[in-house]
Structure formats: structure tokens, C-alpha cells
Amino acid sequence: MATDRERDLFASDILASVGRYAATLPPSPLTGFLAMEGLSYRRGAGLMVVGRAVNGWTEEILPHALATVLECTRYAQVVQNSVNGSNACPMLWVTKRWGPNDVYNTKRSAFWRSIRGVVRQLHIADVEDVDRDRWPSHLVWSNLYKVSPANGGNPIGPLCDVQKPGCIDLLELELETYKPSRILFLTGIDWANPFFKWMTGVPSLGGPLHHVERFGTYTISNGHKIQWVVATHPQGKPEAEWIGEVAEAYNRL
């Protein structure tokens, strides 16, 4: 689950920066996000998947409302509560919405279909177990940028700039907290590049593939080693080929 350290960094370094530079941002509602951990995820041996930004999530807030420490703290708690859930596994929202519904059909999402394929290829969970349907429970899901437009779409321009330093630090904290053995960025290299200060000097192994743009290993500060892959966003890509390349990249490491 999203820890209090993550929540506090989110409030002090990301939300506060959005509030500080609110005058440079469109006066449109925003939403926030923190990493979501499945109940069956194994710290030290699990897969973490990372997107660009959440496409709509929890309570909306306007940039100028984040001008006070009190409101940043309050909203960070709202976001933490939204990703931690109660007794049920929070990641099971993916399979609960797998098919037609009134909110968001995850089965129509190339992002989630491709992740499901990678889970199958890497033998992380039985994705065909329709009785239990718990494959998302074996994952940690996060996003590069933690604040995005409430009405959907990725953050661009100033909204990325004002939160980027805090988001980079928060990603590093997430790696130390969840200790994934593998991390998959479904973002494309252009989105991931600014976050690679913690991979400085780490080369790709074997050169790029068609859909996998960079991959390698990284050892975080506590000595834990992570295999990482940066792939193109799967939208509009041949999914079987995309999934196969991601699995091949991990097998090369």
C-alpha cells in the first residue's frame, strides 16, 4: 500500500509545487495518484508496472487550492486512501472492470491487456483463472507523473515541469519501498528519460528491440537489484509482438 512517507513526499514536493506555480497552469481541475500495491505482490520478487499518468482517478482539485500546506496535506491523504482501499485488494479494480460497465472497460485498454499478457509470459500469475481472476493482485502499479488532468489525458508542458523533480524523487522512494525484481515502463523512452537520473551510466544490453527501447539492470541504495525495461506505449501496437519483446528483454538480463 502507499506508505505515509510516499504520501508526505507527494504533499510537500509535488502538490505544494503545483500550488506554488498555480498561476502558470490552466485553471482546470486536477487529480492525483500514488502507487497501488496488490495484496499478492511479493516485495523483493514482484513486477512493478509504470504508466505515464493516471487517466482520471479520485477527487478533483484546482491548482490554486493547493496553495496551503493544510490543503496539500488533506488532498494527499485523500489520494492515499483512494489507492490503498479497505480490506479487498485495491488492484482488483482492473478485473472487476474487465468488460462492459458504466465507468471504464479495462479490457478495451491496450495498457492493461498488454500487462496481462506480460504477466502470463513471465509466469507471474494464472491470467486464465476466471474463478479467482486475481492476476492484478500480483502487481504494483504506478505512474511517472502523479498529478494529471481530472478529465483525462496526460499532463503536458508546465504541469509536467512543476511536478517533475518531486515525481523523480517519489519514484526512487517507490523502488526502495516495493523492491520490485522487475519494473516495466509502458511509457516510451521520451517520457521515461527525465526519470533516469537513478540509472545514470547504465547501458542497454543487446541494443534496442522494435517496441522495447531500453533495458538493463539497476541496483538501488539498499543493494536490491532490479531488471528494468522501457517499452513504447502499447496503444496501436501489435500486442502479441509487443508482449513477446518485453518478455525477451527480461530473458536477456
Distances (CA, A) of 182 to 89, 175, 227, 234: 21, 10, 5, 18
Three-state SS letters, 174-203: HHHHHCCCEEEEECCHHHHHHHHHHHCCCC
pLDDT of residue 208: 62
Which residues on neighbouring strands pair with residue 215, listed in sequence order? 229
Domain map (residue ranges) of the chain: 4-252
pLDDT digits (tens, 9 = 90+) for 235-244: 999 999 999 9
The answer as to CATH 2.40.128 being correct for domain 4-252 is no
C-alpha to C-alpha distance for 46 and 40, rounded to whole angstroms: 9
pLDDT digits (tens, 9 = 90+) for 140-186: 999 999 999 999 999 999 999 999 999 999 999 999 999 999 999 99
C-alpha to C-alpha distance for 187 and 196, rounded to whole angstroms: 13
| pLDDT level of residue 129 (50, 70, 90 thresholds) | confident
C-alpha to C-alpha distance for 8 and 170, rounded to whole angstroms: 10
Could you say which DSSP state residue 93 is in?
H
